[in-house]
Structure 1
Amino acid sequence: MFTGIVEEVGEIADVSPGGLLIRGPLVVSDARHGDSIAVDGVCLTVTETDGDRFRVDVMGETYRRTALSGLRPGDRVNLERAVAVGGRLGGHIVQGHVDGVAEVLRREPAEEWESVTFRLPADLSRYVVEKGSIAVDGVSLTVAAVSADEFTVGLIPTTLTETTLGRKPVGATVHLEVDVLAKHVERLLAHRSEAVTV
Structure 2
Amino acid sequence: MAFTLSAPCEYREDIRKSRFLALAAPIASAAEALAFIAAHSDAGASHNCWAWKLGNQYRFSDDGEPGGTAGRPILAAIEGQDCDQVAVLVIRWYGGIQLGTGGLARAYGGSAAKCLQAGERRELVARSRCTCHCGFAELPLLKARLPELDARLDSETFDGHGANLQLAVPEARFAELQRLLADISRGRIVLRRL
TM > 0.5 between the two? Answer: no
How does the TM-score come out when normalised to structure 2?
A: 0.24
How does the TM-score come out when normalised to structure 1?
A: 0.23
Structure label with greater radius of gyration: 2
Higher helix proportion: 2
